A and B are shown apart, each in its own frame.
Chain A
Amino acid sequence: MIEINNVTLEYDTPGGKVLAVEDASFAAKASEFVCLVGPSGCGKTTLLNMIAGFFAPTQGEIRVGGRAVSGQGQDRGVVFQDFAQLFPWRTALGNVVFGLEMKGVSRAERERIALEQLRLVKLEKFAGSYPHHLSGGMQQRVAIARALAYNPGVLLMDEPFAALDALTRDEMQRLLAEVWRETRKTVVYVTHNVAEAVYLADRVIVMTPHPGRIRAEVAVRLPRPRDPLSVEFLEHQKELLRHLTQKEEER
């Protein structure tokens, strides 16, 4: 479904060239949930932005659904970390219908679909609310509904719950796992939170910074819903942490 082949991104700064991502390759099968994990500066968000088509890699190729990515497209839905991603001048419903509007879906039809999506994230009661009247967690749920509404095959998520408090974050993770189970989207999910990755992912790609490289791939074959306090869960967390800290030992 998604193929990242030897992708490198280099950009110029006043201090010289910086390698944000170096020779990254991985693939995600249809309906697979893949997490990109790493500390800040490891290039995980940059990689996600390239899959979204916000900018092109310096070298290498990205394919989604068999087609080479060039620019943004409705085959991919994107959810950002910042709550401000919602359009403040549109209600929750107005935000969710946006992609359908762009597709030229009729008004009645797009509102029906949007309400369905809002129900999926348990916000149908807030369809008429403006974003600034919603909590951070609710705004992120609207953003997820908005990215799903026009039915892209791929959902790209950039630390969508990082700015939420711990309790809300747990709730959001449960909700997302549920949404994913129901929609079966291919998900690429960026996070720096190891526990979150083990909770959500089928497979975790571990990245390390300077330059941004893929360090390891760890499959998580635990049954869902997952218990974050189980021994196996903690084993996976330990393994990921080991990969993340390995670099310093090598030095």
Chain B
Amino acid sequence: MKAAISIGFFLLLYEAVARSGWFAAALVPTLPAVAKTLWWMLAEGTMARHALATLYRVFAGLAAAAATGLLLGFLMARYRPVERFFLPLVSALMPIPSLAWAPVFILWFGLGDTATILVVFYAASFPMILNTWTGARAVNPLWLRAAGAMGAGGAAMFWKVVVPGALPFIITGLRLAFQRSWIAVVGAEMLAASAFGLGWVIFDAKEFLNADIMLASLAVIGAIGFLFERLVFGSLERSTVLRWGMVRAAKA
């Protein structure tokens, strides 16, 4: 409900600008015009194909990044040599924008899904690595001591104490990785995708000055992001770290 108010307010502001006559209607279409295009694209099925193509790339890249980030982050936190080996590598690779890799990946793997997924993977990996690494090191030493005194070691210590203890950081890492995946996928599709994808359709629409298609696609990206944030990450947080009091809800 509160989300509807804040989003509604923003939409009203946009509509006021669109109707003000300051800009050409073709460049700043009104909301009904955008809604009509969106409806048409949804009814025709093209929007679903674009969205599915993009979702596939996002989740393939994100899943690979999450697996890599968790593994590497935990290993770095546990073993000094692993940390010493990978930390400089992470520091050097992290500041390179994932999009800067797109031309390289295209050169190596050709146009298409592989290059796009790799760009997403690259973008999403670093928040996962860094958050897992930090989370594992931030586990309350008292929990480790208490667990150790009760006979936990090795695998039990890891699965029953370190993993749940690091969960607030890991969930935040997933959220950041998800968000960065979207930034990466839209850019990568512009360069590497040849037919479908929400990013591709936006840049394709530019050629024909179809501002309504661009905005309709942007709205779909926003809606997907919002739904995932609310349904997936929000409920993941509510059913774990929030429920356990490891993070607190904001004050009313």
Q: How far, in Å, is A58 (CB) from chain B's closest CB?
A: 20
Alpha-carbon distance between A73 and B149 when the two chains are bound, in angstroms: 6
Alpha-carbon distance between A101 and B150 when the two chains are bound, in angstroms: 9
Chain B 83-99: CB-based contact to A (< 8 A → 1; otherwise 0):
00000000000000000
Judge if B78 is at the interface, Cβ distance under 8 Å: no
- Please tell me which one of the listed residues A54, A74, A146 contacts residue B151 in the complex, with CB atoms under 8 A apart: A74
Q: Give the most central of A88, A130, A133: most B CB within 10 Å.
A: A88
Q: How far, in Å, is B239 (CB) from chain A's closest CB?
A: 11
Please tell me if the beta carbons of A74 and B243 are within 8 angstroms of each other in the complex: no
Flag the segment in B59-67, B108-116, B139-147 that touches A: B139-147
Please tell me if the beta carbons of B164 and A76 are within 8 angstroms of each other in the complex: no
- Which residues 1-25 in B have Cβ within 8 Å of A in the complex? none
Alpha-carbon distance between A128 and B167 when the two chains are bound, in angstroms: 21
Provide the residues of chain B in CB contact with A73, threshold 8 Å. 151
Alpha-carbon distance between A88 and B140 when the two chains are bound, in angstroms: 11
Please tell me if the beta carbons of B245 and A98 are within 8 angstroms of each other in the complex: no
- Which residues 227-248 in B have Cβ within 8 Å of A in the complex? 240, 243-246
Judge if A78 is at the interface, Cβ distance under 8 Å: yes
- Known contacts A80-B145, A87-B143, A87-B164; is A74 also within 8 Å of B244 by CB? no
- Known contacts A84-B140, A87-B164; is A78 also within 8 Å of B146 by CB? yes
- Please tell me which one of the listed residues B146, B151, B245 contacts residue A88 in the complex, with CB atoms under 8 A apart: B245
Alpha-carbon distance between A53 and B151 when the two chains are bound, in angstroms: 12
Q: Name A's interface SS.
A: mixed
Closest residue of chain A to B143, judged by CB? A87
- Please tell me which one of the listed residues A77, A86, A101, A103 contacts residue B149 in the complex, with CB atoms under 8 A apart: A77
- Which residues 150-207 in B have Cβ within 8 Å of A in the complex? 150-152, 156, 160-161, 164-165, 167
- Known contacts A78-B146, A84-B140, A87-B143; is A131 also within 8 Å of B151 by CB? no
Please tell me if the beta carbons of A52 and B245 are within 8 angstroms of each other in the complex: no
Q: Give the most central of B143, B151, B152, B244: most A CB within 10 Å.
A: B151
Q: Name B's interface SS.
A: helix
Alpha-carbon distance between A133 and B243 when the two chains are bound, in angstroms: 10
Alpha-carbon distance between A146 and B143 when the two chains are bound, in angstroms: 13
Q: How far, in Å, is B76 (CB) from chain A's closest CB?
A: 23
Q: How far, in Å, is B249 (CB) from chain A's closest CB?
A: 12
Provide the residues of chain B in CB contact with A124, threshold 8 Å. none
Alpha-carbon distance between A85 and B146 when the two chains are bound, in angstroms: 7
Closest residue of chain A to B146, judged by CB? A85
Please tell me if the beta carbons of A98 and B145 are within 8 angstroms of each other in the complex: no
Please tell me if the beta carbons of A80 and B244 are within 8 angstroms of each other in the complex: no
Please tell me if the beta carbons of A102 and B156 are within 8 angstroms of each other in the complex: yes
Judge if B148 is at the interface, Cβ distance under 8 Å: yes
Alpha-carbon distance between A98 and B157 when the two chains are bound, in angstroms: 11
- Please tell me which one of the listed residues B143, B167, B243 contacts residue A85 in the complex, with CB atoms under 8 A apart: B143
Provide the residues of chain B in CB contact with A99, threshold 8 Å. 150-151
Alpha-carbon distance between A248 and B24 when the two chains are bound, in angstroms: 88
Judge if A226 is at the interface, Cβ distance under 8 Å: no
Please tell me if the beta carbons of A89 and B164 are within 8 angstroms of each other in the complex: yes
Provide the residues of chain B in CB contact with A82, threshold 8 Å. 142
Please tell me if the beta carbons of A150 and B151 are within 8 angstroms of each other in the complex: yes
Provide the residues of chain A in CB contact with B152, threshold 8 Å. 98, 102
Alpha-carbon distance between A170 and B75 when the two chains are bound, in angstroms: 46
Provide the residues of chain A in CB contact with B160, threshold 8 Å. 98, 101
Alpha-carbon distance between A131 and B152 when the two chains are bound, in angstroms: 20
Closest 9 CB pairs of A and B: A132-B245, A99-B150, A102-B151, A89-B164, A78-B149, A88-B244, A74-B151, A72-B148, A89-B244
9 A-B residue pairs with Cβ-Cβ distance under 8 Å, sorted by A, are A77-B149, A82-B142, A84-B140, A87-B147, A98-B147, A98-B150, A102-B150, A132-B245, A147-B150
Interface of B with A (CB < 8 Å)?
140, 142-143, 145-152, 156, 160-161, 164-165, 167, 240, 243-246
19 further A-B contacts with Cβ under 8 Å, apart from A73-B151, A88-B246, A99-B150, are A53-B149, A54-B145, A72-B148, A72-B151, A74-B151, A77-B150, A78-B149, A80-B145, A80-B146, A86-B146, A87-B165, A89-B165, A89-B167, A89-B244, A98-B147, A101-B160, A102-B156, A130-B243, A147-B150
Interface of A with B (CB < 8 Å)?
52-54, 72-74, 76-78, 80, 82, 84-89, 98-99, 101-103, 130-133, 146-147, 150
